[in-house]
Every structure is written in structure tokens, then in C-alpha cells.
Structure 1
Amino acid sequence: MTQRKRSRSIRNAAIVGVSTALLGVTAPVTASAAGGSTTDALTWSACEGTGLDPRQECATLDVPMDYADPDGPRIEMAVSRIPAEKPDARRGALLLIAGGPGGSSLNDPSGKGQKLPQEVRDTHDLIGFAPRGLAPSTPADCGLEYGDLATSRLRPWPAPDGSVDGNMTTARRMADACARNGRELIKHLSTANEARDIDRLRAALGERRISAWGVSYGTYVGSVYAQLFPHRTDRILLDSVDNPDPALVNRAWLAAHERGVEDTFPHFAAWASKPGNPDRLADRAADVRPLFLRLAARLDREPIPWPGANPEELNGNVLRQTMLDSFAAPGRYPTLARLMRAAAEGTVPPAPQAPPEAVLQNVAAVGAGVLCNDVAWPKGAAGYEKDVAESRAKYPLTAGMPRNAMLCAAWPYPPREAPVRITDRGPSNVLLVQNERDVNTPLAGALRMREALGRRAVMVTVDSTGHDSYLANGNACGDATVSRFLATGQRPGSDVYCD
């Protein structure tokens, strides 16, 4: 089956683009047997769109919507590849697994994949894909109200007084919309099913084993795949690592933001007080934190109209959400600093440009389905009220959001299976790389993954700031260690620290 003409940009909070490239049709890849069953072959053809490496080609794989009913309805999974540059030296395939949930790696073979060392590109096909539910794979859609697509609404920021009543109301409204509009597919979005899709893809590629580079949420996908299909793995790189706590799963990822902000804020404060910085906020680093807290509190009381933004006001929670977004990379610090300076003057910058609503709807639906289907969330408000109050007292920068109720608190569908428990059973072929200061996946959570994997893993901790380490916000030592692993399979003899 050829890829259908429904290419559109798919983006997560960092706006990850999807689909594209121009290449002639090539012969289908013959699929190998997977667990005794055959899998459809992939027919590679020209990708839609422009701007990608002309070697990138695309295909579509049919997978079961419900793996408990493998002969039932099927859905499409959009995939892409750039073949190994030296076929005679080819080792296998390297799967690029995006973050999210709601991110795509479909255009990564010609994007971040081209930053990989030449030796890796020579020996590995680079494989991207749009996870189930994310266009141009068979898309999910909850039909949410436009206001509920705001990042500061999707993240459960409490009211200025700490109340969670409004969050519970929002959760019910959004969960009802997903139940009403999400069709059968919304029930089958989960990390375990994405891992099963990956194994179908591995078989369709004709690979006995597959390597992977998972980033952020992709580290959880990669670890679940390595747990469910341990002997189908070659070299597994987990970059910016999620906490795999099987009791909390994504609740632990949300809660991690309070620690991640605390880890990162001193780095931002040092930058924001540095002489010569055109976006300098204070003379001393120690003054930046109280400045931020005062501004957020003032905006809680007196929001500033912000025409064209969503929501159309700059309030305390929009400022806090901007902080969270800006801490993902030091290069984004000026966005927060300029918003703080404008707020201090009672003004706003031009409204940020948002992706098309259809893109936001699709990404939000995939995120909702995965987050809410992976693990059961508490339903009552009382527990969230207690947790939010504790978080606000201990971590005022994040105002209780990380322990609050997302739409999963009202999700109408119970999990169809228990979360996958990550263990040390399996081959010792995993490398973790983690920045010390990461707002989205803090070091503390990465250490939980390291502990869970035990002898299977070695960890590289990097003295760097930002979300995404390898070839992004890491450093030369960390990048070299990871590159050697992907190229040769060689890992350090034990956990290492790169300063």
C-alpha cells in the first residue's frame, strides 16, 4: 500500500515536523518471519513534500489496531528511511524514536540522522516513523475546544489560589470530547502498542534485530520495546531518560518538572545576570528567582491582554509555562527573559505563532490517549488538592502543576493492560546518556531507569543543560562516547561522568 496523500506537519511542544522528500520508487524490502508469522513487505516510494534529503523514501505498514485481536481492524503506520551509505558494510537498521507522546521521527533520517557519525550512516539504514494515531499514520482526533489546545491548558496549572476545581472541570470536558470523537482508535494508543508496532516494522524491514536511538518519551518506548522483545535488539541508546516507575508511568514524568525546573533555574539565573547580556534581567543571579516569582504572582492578579495568543492574556501560568518551554535549551532563554521584561513593563511581545489547529488537535489526541491508557490516574479531586498544596510549598516556581490532574483524571477507559515493568532481564546492550540539568527528564528519573535496567545498561552523565543530550545540548565527551557505541557497540566499562 502506498502512503496516502495526507501529509501535514506534526508537531509536539517543540514543534516536530512530519513527512516529505523526493525519491524514485525502489524494490520492496522482503520481510522476515517474526515469531513464526509473516509480515507484509514494505513498498518504498517517493515521500511527499519538500525540503528533505532526496535519498529519503517512504512507505506505509498496516498493523493491528488491537493486538488482542490481530485479525481485526488494521491501521496505517507511516515510515521512512535513508539506506546505509555503504551497502557492502551495512550492519542493520537504526530506528529513530521521537519524544512526546505526540512526536514523530518521520523526517528525522534526513534531519537529526544526518548529524550522526559517518561510520553510523555508512553501516545503518536510518528509519523514521509516525507513531500510531499521528498523521500521516491513521490519525486520532479528540475534537477539543480551541482554548483547551493551549499548552498552558494542556498542562494542568492550578488556579492562582492553588485550587484544582477548574482543572477537574477541564479534565472532564476534554475526556468527554475524546470519548465522543476519538473513535475506537483512541482506546488503543499506548506505549506497549507502539512497541509492538515497532516489532512489526522490524520484521517488515527484514531485520532479525534492530538498533534504536530514543529521545525523551522515546526512551520509555525504547525501554519497553527492549523489555518486550529483548532478543530483537542490537544497540539501544536512551537519550534524556524518562523515569520508568511502573506504578506512576507518565504521572512520574509530569511530577519530574518540579525537580527539573529547580535543577535548571540557577543556570538560567547566571545567564540572565551576566554583564553584557542584552537580555539581562538583574545584576545578581540571586535576584532572578524572586523577580520571576513576583512577576508570576502579579500576573496571577492582573493578567495583561495578549491579542492573538491562546489564551489571549499573559497570566501567571502562561509565564510559568514559558519558563518550562524555555528551559528545554539554553538557546531559548531569551524568550523567557524578553517575556519577563515585557511583563515588568506591563506590555507583551507579538503573539507566538501556533501550528495549524488540525496539527494541535492530532498531537493532543495522541498525547491524551497514550498518557491516559498507559496507567490509571486517580479520579477524585482530594488527592490532587493535597499533592498540589505540597508541591506549591516545596517548589513555588512550578506552582503545583507537576502533581495536578490532567484529563486522565476523568478518562472513561480503564487501562487494557498493566504498565510494562522495566527489568535487568535481557542483553547488556543499552547505553543511557543524560544531562545533569534537564527540565523535562531530570537526572533523578534517569537514575531510576539506570537502576531498573541493572546490568543491561551503562550510563553517561553529562555536565550540560537542556533537554536532549546527544548531538544537541550535550558535550564533546558525551557525544564521543555515544558515537563510539553506535558505531562499534563499545560501551564504557562502567558508568561515566563527562564534565
Structure 2
Amino acid sequence: MKQITKHVALVAAAGAMLGFAGPGGASEPAPGSLDWTRCTGSGLDPRQQCATLAVPMDYSDPDSPEIRIAVSRIPGEKPSARRGALLLIPGGPGGDSLGDPSGKGQKLPQKVRDAYDLIGFAPRGMAPSTSVDCKLDPADISMTKRLPWPAPDGSVDGNMATARRTAEACARNGGELIRHISTANEARDLDRLRAALGEKKISAWGVSYGTYVGAVYGQLFPHRTDRIVLDSNNNPDHTRVTRNWLAAFETGVEDNFPEFAKWASRPGNPHRVARTPAEVRSGFLRLAARLDRDPLPWPGANPPLLDGNALRQTMLSSLYDPDDYPVLAEAVRAARKDTVPPAPEAPPEPVLQNVAAVGVGTVCNDVEWPGSAAAYQKDVDESRAAYPLTAGMPRGPMVCAAWPYKPKEPAVRITDRGPSNILLVQNERDVATPLAGALKLRQALGDRAVMVTVNSTGHDAYLANGNACGDATVSRFLATGERPHRDRYCDQGPFSVR
């Protein structure tokens, strides 16, 4: 999940209710109107246009008040080649793709940009759509609070206290909308957007959490899908959803830390921290344990201490992209000398508050979490013993352990029923969405999907941390509809069958 450590993100989904399209089909929603105007903001392609779409807050209530979804587009560049619209589904929950038509959308090959209108959006709850804010204590929006890093002795008592504070603040300040933020509702909003765009079918490129949104959309509205690319994929288990994704960090870190360790022990590397990969690992564990006992003041950071969990969080964030390895290496080198690196740059507090509220609403409304501290403590103890790098965090209690509301509907179960028009692309070493989870989604989709596994390291495969073979495969599918006939392994060179 890209946003999950670069800001935060975890997720889940839910199924059909009455009065709107679900797996069994239903009437076409009345198209909303889109009044396209010039976008405001800096750094945008002058061709990008913006609009807002009205959707129901509560799809189960015919009298539900409307909320607004902010939408952006760059029209296809060759009208004679136009195929339709390509939704750019962001990661998160807590991300948006409003700037993506001007940003990563322009990395798409010309044939794809010719054929598709590139469509971005801010999901429900995310500003400038109708937004939510829990008004959390600033200390509770830090990454070491939003992810359940346990105390140095492994206790989850502090995590449970944070969960209660956060849940109470969201119930008090989040308004009615926070109860209706979910993956299934985001998928329904996207189908309203499809209709408003005048498209009978829609194509999509979903990344990280966006792969789950895309899978849920394809389950609820299978015959309204055209060409679907799911990039950096999550385990779709509808009984656990985000709990599985959080737990996957155990595997993700173990898949990726060896790559950092090889880099950080390479002779001639100016950021070198040890002579061998084994020494990088053992040294990191010793340093984290030392900082658990004796944290260093860290002015400007939130919280203002470089403790063991702050170092572990730096590790987790840095493993998303090999280009960020120097951030972790320099944190290790500084802490060994009892100094600290520069405090990480954070977005403005209102942005963090909004991201946190959307993340909380999605994660907790998609699936119910246990409320017993004892159950989490047992899992955390086991995790700490088996996966020392992540110190038990992946099995800890998030805010949902104290969430006062039950999910309004069951999570959507992803199945093999639907058209065979999905291409999964997945890096072999991905800290946030590990290959093991992607294989679960591949299994659930059955003959609907083909998966290309890319011999690469980092989160986000297509046009980011993947390789030329994987990029060419996805580009060909979007431009022509041609998919590999079966699952493939993409080394740097031509396809090889595994």
C-alpha cells in the first residue's frame, strides 16, 4: 500500500446492498453531470480539467444526502484512436489521484494516452471531495501511533489506549460521513463516475490499495469493466482484509531487508553501514534495542524522539523504494554516534488529519476487528519471536480494536465470476504488498486474471519500481488488449516461464 508508510494506508471492502448494482446486476444509475473547468493548483498539465460529481452518502438509503467527489481528466490525445476512459485508482486508503493525469499518467506510452481519457479523483472523505476530519491529538497522527508499534517490552496496552482515543475522536468529530467511508462505497462512487463520463465500460489502473478497490469494483460491476490493471496487489481475504495486509509486513520486510543489507554492506557505497549483509541485520537489531532503552531527542519530529520504533518505522518507509535506502542508512549511521538525522518532512497537519480520518473510516468500516487486548498480545508475542525486524507491529491492534460502529455490510468476497480482462503485475520483493498476498488475489480471481511477476524490488511495479519486461507487458495490454496466455515471470530480458 503506497500511502500506508509514505503516509498511511490499510484497507478492506464490502458487498452489495439494495437498490444499486451488485454481483447479480441492477439498474443503471442515473448519470450525474460533470461540468469540466480549468483546474486550480500548481504543477498541473494545462490540459487537465476538473469537475465534481454528486453521489449518495448512503447507497442503501434513497433519501440519503449527497456528497461531492472531486474528479480530474486529461482527454485522450488522438480522437480517432479513442477507446474510452482509464481510471487511475490511488493507493491508501488516504490517497487521491487528482494530479495523476498530469503526473504518472504522462509516463504512459503514447498509444495509451492516445486511446484513453485519463481520469483522477479524490475518494469520498478526501479533500477537495466532501471531507472528514477526526481532529486527533497531533501526537496520534504520527506514524508510530497510526501503525501499532508496541512498547519496548512488547506490551499492546499503549496501542489499545491510542485506539480508544482515536476512535472516540472520530465518533465525536467525524460526522455521519465517516460511517459511510468504505471500499465498497468507493467502488460504487466509481460506477457513478463511469456513468457520468458516458462510458458503458471503464478501464482502470489500480495501485496498492487501489488494487483492492479495482477488484471490488470488478466484483460488484463485472460487466462494466474493460481492461483492468492491478499493480502491487493485496490479499483479498474478506474475513480479515486489512488485518491480513498489516500482518503481511512481516513477510514484506523479510523479503526486502536482505536487498537493503546487500546494498548497505557494498564496498565503495558512501552510505555503507557494515561489512556484510549479516552484520547490517544484526547491527540494526542491536541499535533498535538500544534506542528502545535510551531514545535520542529528535527535534522537529513527531514524536520528538528517535526511539527503537521510530528507527523501525524509518526502515519500513525506506524499504518501499530502493531509492530511499540512503535515508535508513544515514539514520543508522547518525544514531550510532548518538546524533539524529534531519527530522522527516511531513505534510501540513490538516492533510495528515484528513488522511488519518479516511484511513480509519475505511479500515474499520470494511471489516470488524477483535476488541480484546489479550488476543492481540498473544499474536504480537508470537510475531516478535518469529520476525524481530518488525517487533510485533504487524499483528497489533489498530484503531478498529475500539471502533464503536459495526460494519454496515459484509466485506465483498472476490471470486472467479466475471470476464477475463484483468492483468496483475507484481514485484517479487515488495514490502507493503508482498508476493505471497498477490498470489492469494491471483488464486481468488481464477481464470479472470493473468499475473506477471516481476524480478524487481520495491513497491509499485508498472512504470515505477518494476522492469522493462513488466512495463512492456502492461503497456501492450492497455494499448491493444493483448495479455500473456498464462502467468509469466518477467526478468529484465524476455519472458521466462516459471
TM-score range, shorter-chain basis? Answer: over 0.9
2:388 maps to a residue whose letter is P
User: CA 1:411–1:53 in structure 2 vs 1: closer, same or farther (change >3 Å)?
Assistant: same
Q: How does 1:58-137 map to 2 (within 5 A)?
A: 58-137=50-129
Q: Report the TM-score, using the length of structure 2 for normalisation.
A: 0.94
Give the match for residue 348 of structure 2: 356
CA distance in 2, matches of 1:443, 1:178: 34
**Tell me, what secondary structure is at the counterpart of 1:493?**
coil
2:394 to 386, 394, 402: 402
1:330 to 322, 330, 337: 322
1:368 maps to a residue whose letter is V
1:37 Cα deviation from its structure 2 partner:
3.9
**Tell me, what secondary structure is at the counterpart of 1:379?**
coil
CA distance in 2, matches of 1:387, 1:41: 49
Residues 1:182 and 2:174 aligned together: yes
**Tell me, what secondary structure is at the counterpart of 2:232?**
strand
More moved, 351-360 vs 338-347: 351-360
CA distance in 1, matches of 2:42, 2:250: 40
CA distance in 1, matches of 2:4, 2:99: 14
Give the match for residue 258 of structure 1: 250
CA distance in 1, matches of 2:322, 2:315: 11
Give the match for residue 213 of structure 2: 221
Q: How does 1:177-216 map to 2 (within 5 A)?
A: 177-216=169-208
1:13 Cα deviation from its structure 2 partner:
4.2
1:70 Cα deviation from its structure 2 partner:
3.5
2:282 to 287, 290, 298: 290
Q: CA RMSD in A?
A: 1.1
* Contact residue 213 and residue 236 of structure 1 kept, 8 A: yes
1:340 to 332, 353, 363: 332
Unaligned residue ranges in structure 1 (runs of 5+) = 1-10, 17-33
Post-superposition CA distance 1:321-369 (Å, at most 9, x none): 0000000000000000000000111000221221110000000000000
1:226 maps to a residue whose letter is G
Residues 1:452 and 2:418 aligned together: no
Q: How does 1:34-49 map to 2 (within 5 A)?
A: 35-49=27-41
Q: How does 1:353-432 map to 2 (within 5 A)?
A: 353-432=345-424
Residues 1:435 and 2:427 aligned together: yes
Residues 1:462 and 2:451 aligned together: no
2:472 to 456, 468, 480: 480
2:242 maps to a residue whose letter is N
1:71 Cα deviation from its structure 2 partner:
3.1
CA distance in 2, matches of 1:192, 1:133: 14
1:283 maps to a residue whose letter is R
User: CA 1:202–1:415 in structure 2 vs 1: closer, same or farther (change >3 Å)?
Assistant: same
2:479 maps to a residue whose letter is A
1:476 Cα deviation from its structure 2 partner:
0.7
CA distance in 1, matches of 2:156, 2:4: 25
Give the match for residue 7 of structure 1: none
CA distance in 1, matches of 2:115, 2:154: 54
Relative CO higher for 1 or 2, CA cutoff 8 Å, sep ≥ 6? 2
CA distance in 2, matches of 1:144, 1:407: 12
CA distance in 1, matches of 2:488, 2:302: 43
1:272 Cα deviation from its structure 2 partner:
0.2
Post-superposition CA distance 1:435-478 (Å, at most 9, x none): 01000000000000000000000000011000000000000111
1:15 Cα deviation from its structure 2 partner:
5.9
Post-superposition CA distance 1:34-76 (Å, at most 9, x none): 9344222201001111211000000000000000013320100
**Tell me, what secondary structure is at the counterpart of 1:109?**
coil
**Could you tell me the percent identity over the aligned residues?**
73
Post-superposition CA distance 1:254-277 (Å, at most 9, x none): 000010000001100000001111
**Tell me, what secondary structure is at the counterpart of 2:96?**
coil
Post-superposition CA distance 1:220-261 (Å, at most 9, x none): 000000000000000000000011011100001100001000
* Contact residue 167 and residue 405 of structure 1 kept, 8 A: yes
User: CA 1:442–1:284 in structure 2 vs 1: closer, same or farther (change >3 Å)?
Assistant: same
* Contact residue 12 and residue 103 of structure 1 kept, 8 A: no
**Tell me, what secondary structure is at the counterpart of 2:482?**
coil
CA distance in 1, matches of 2:303, 2:191: 41
**Tell me, what secondary structure is at the counterpart of 1:241?**
coil
Give the match for residue 303 of structure 2: 311
Give the match for residue 21 of structure 2: none
Unaligned residue ranges in structure 2 (runs of 5+) = 9-25, 492-498
Give the match for residue 312 of structure 2: 320
CA distance in 1, matches of 2:301, 2:265: 29
* Contact residue 5 and residue 316 of structure 2 kept, 8 A: no
Give the match for residue 11 of structure 2: none
Residues 1:165 and 2:141 aligned together: no
* Contact residue 60 and residue 78 of structure 1 kept, 8 A: yes
* Contact residue 29 and residue 192 of structure 2 kept, 8 A: no
1:91 Cα deviation from its structure 2 partner:
0.4
* Contact residue 427 and residue 457 of structure 2 kept, 8 A: yes
Residues 1:151 and 2:143 aligned together: yes
Give the match for residue 49 of structure 2: 57
1:308 Cα deviation from its structure 2 partner:
1.0
Residues 1:274 and 2:266 aligned together: yes
* Contact residue 440 and residue 467 of structure 1 kept, 8 A: yes
* Contact residue 39 and residue 50 of structure 2 kept, 8 A: yes
CA distance in 2, matches of 1:172, 1:152: 16
CA distance in 2, matches of 1:206, 1:14: 35
1:371 Cα deviation from its structure 2 partner:
0.3
Moved over 6 A (4+): none
Give the match for residue 22 of structure 1: none
**Tell me, what secondary structure is at the counterpart of 1:286?**
helix
